[in-house]
Amino acid sequence: VKLQGRWGSVADDNWDMEDAEVVCQQLGCGSASGAFSALERFGVGDGLVSLARVDCRGHEATLWDCEIRGWGPYNSSVHDLDTAVVCQGFSRLVGGDGACAGRLEVRQGRAWLGVCEDEVDMKVAQVVCRELGCGEALGIPGSGRFGAGSGSQWDGGLRCNGSEPLLSACARRPAQSQGCSGPGGVICSSYTGFRLGNGSSGCSGRVEAAVRGTWGSVCASEWELPDAHVLCWHLGCGRAVSVPAGGSLGSGEGPLRPDAFGCRGSERHPGECPVAVLGKPPCAPGNAAAVHCSGGPEEMGDQLEEMGHFSEMGPAPNSSLEEMVIVCSGGLQVRLVGSSGRCAGRVEVYSGGAWSSVCQEGWELQDAAVVCRELGCGTALEAPSWARSGAGAGPLWP
């Protein structure tokens, strides 16, 4: 604690969770997960002692609102009673595979409360992923993806700009609606890209992943067909036809990533799959994973081109290989607005010299898949309601 312009430790032989709770809340670090003696956890101080014998109830706004029996600063060479705290943050994700995907909950006092899906946008998700050390936000799936939860709902709202280091640093506001349609979910991933290299086509090759912008080949030792299915689907290349032997398409540059994906085959992005990295042995040199994807029904291309306005095509989410999505180039420009990036937001089309929001009625995941593919944004994760990105100001289209 800084007292009279100088920093000093807090000494207390009865330091408890109520005291630690006030410190964590005051620092914007959520709730306390532990109250310790500094000697046993982080080491003692070597300067002044600012406060001694602090007794909090746990609800005070600041530490100096608590009962304090010893106000310093004290010059002391004895620091055996210095205190320590471990905070557990303001947010967590539950109900998913691991700590980086699930329902968003925030800490209030000693309780974890669910956040309504209307309060969770991509800016909020980006801050949550950053706070949890989970990389980038992949998506904000609607209620039901990670279960309904059994606890109470938080009655507040958040306004993040997406750059905050912690969710607790975002501005607070009243909830947007009186009722809650369901819990908000967040999917984070440290993976910022996937591609296939050194293959005969864009849908066949060595598996490469980018982690926070750095590309590397994935080890083949635990790369299996369900993992390959998800990757092919994500790349718009249909389903996996085969998983060649490791190293058959080269190993790329740099060390191989030992990441062990545990996909079920139904995920829409490899980053949604459980991944084990820590504790995995180094990958044998040259043993890089590879995949051959079906590539979609490309043989239909000539017929479609003859009909005019043909642009591209690929598999629709959750479809069989016989079904396809056709993206036509009929002169309409499409964009996503009202979110932190270009790959999420309210759908608008440029028609008649002006941008117009697309009417929500009848808008489904298949429609969203076409937009994502057209914009080069991978696979659609969901087609949320207008409340997620706000209502547009102009006329609705069509």
Task: Give the tens place of pLDDT for each residue, 99-119.
Answer: 788 999 998 766 888 999 888
Task: Say how many C-beta atoms besides its own lie within 10 A of residue 219's C-beta.
Answer: 24
| Single-letter amino acid, residue 20 | A
Which of 168, 189, 210 corresponds to the end of one domain? 189
Which of 293, 314, 334 corresponds to the end of one domain? 293
207 and 275 belong to one structural domain: yes
Mean pLDDT of 117-128: 91
284 and 262 belong to one structural domain: yes
Looking up residue 18, the CATH number of its domain turns out to be 3.10.250.10
Please report which confidence band the pLDDT of residue 278 belongs to, taking 50, 70 and 90 as the band edges. low
Reply yes or no on whether the pLDDT at 156 is more than 50. Answer: yes
- In-domain check, residue 196: no
Q: Which residues of 175-193 are buried (b: 16+ CB within 10 A; e: fewer)?
A: beeeebebbbbbbbbbbbe
Strand 275-276 vs strand 191-201: parallel, antiparallel, or unpaired?
unpaired
Task: Say how far apart CA 274 and CA 101 lie, in whole Å.
Answer: 10
Task: Say how far apart CA 348 and CA 386 lie, in whole Å.
Answer: 12
358 and 382 belong to one structural domain: yes
389 and 305 belong to one structural domain: yes
- Range of the structural domain that residue 164 is part of: 91-189
106 and 171 belong to one structural domain: yes
- In-domain check, residue 335: yes
Please report which confidence band the pLDDT of residue 307 belongs to, taking 50, 70 and 90 as the band edges. very low
Please report which confidence band the pLDDT of residue 185 belongs to, taking 50, 70 and 90 as the band edges. very high
Which of 241, 259, 293 corresponds to the end of one domain? 293
Mean pLDDT of 83-110: 84
pLDDT of res. 123: 92
Strand 101-108 vs strand 185-189: parallel, antiparallel, or unpaired?
antiparallel
257 vs 314, which has greater pLDDT? 257
pLDDT of res. 279: 66
- In-domain check, residue 147: yes
Q: What is the CA radius of gyration of the chain?
A: 26
Q: How many domains does the chain contain in total?
A: 4
157 and 229 belong to one structural domain: no
Reply yes or no on whether the pLDDT at 341 is more than 80. Answer: no
83 and 96 belong to one structural domain: no
- Residue among 58, 73, 57, 61 at smallest CA distance from 11: 73
393 and 305 belong to one structural domain: yes
Reply yes or no on whether the pLDDT at 259 is more than 90. Answer: no
pLDDT of res. 301: 41
- Residue among 155, 168, 173 at smallest CA distance from 24: 168
Structure-block tokens of residue 238: 């249909």
Reply yes or no on whether the pLDDT at 280 is more than 80. Answer: no
Structure-block tokens of residue 306: 């003859």
List, as one string, the DSSP characters of 88-110: -BSEEEEESSSTTEEEEEEEETT
5 vs 382, which has greater pLDDT? 5
- In-domain check, residue 156: yes
Q: CA end-to-end span of the chain, whole Å?
A: 61
- In-domain check, residue 142: yes
Mean pLDDT of 374-381: 76
Strands ordered across the beta sheet of 48-55: 2-3, 6-11, 48-55, 67-75
Task: Say how far apart CA 272 and CA 265 lie, in whole Å.
Answer: 11
309 and 243 belong to one structural domain: no
- Residue among 377, 389, 392 at smallest CA distance from 343: 377
pLDDT of res. 176: 66
Q: Are 324 and 314 in contact (CB under 8 A)?
A: yes
333 vs 69, which has greater pLDDT? 69
Task: Say how far apart CA 117 and CA 112 lie, in whole Å.
Answer: 16
The tokens 């937001």 sit on which residue? Answer: 345
- In-domain check, residue 362: yes
223 and 259 belong to one structural domain: yes
List, as one string, the DSSP characters of 163-200: --SSGGGSEEEE-SSSS--SB-EEEEESEEEEEEEEEE
- In-domain check, residue 285: yes
310 and 286 belong to one structural domain: no
Q: Are 327 and 373 in contact (CB under 8 A)?
A: yes
- Residue among 118, 155, 158 at smallest CA distance from 140: 118
Strand 185-189 vs strand 191-201: parallel, antiparallel, or unpaired?
unpaired
307 and 387 belong to one structural domain: yes
- Residue among 319, 322, 302 at smallest CA distance from 370: 319
- In-domain check, residue 303: yes
268 vs 39, which has greater pLDDT? 39
Reply yes or no on whether the pLDDT at 297 is more than 60. Answer: no
Mean pLDDT of 17-44: 86
Structure-block tokens of residue 255: 């060390």
pTM higher than 0.75: no
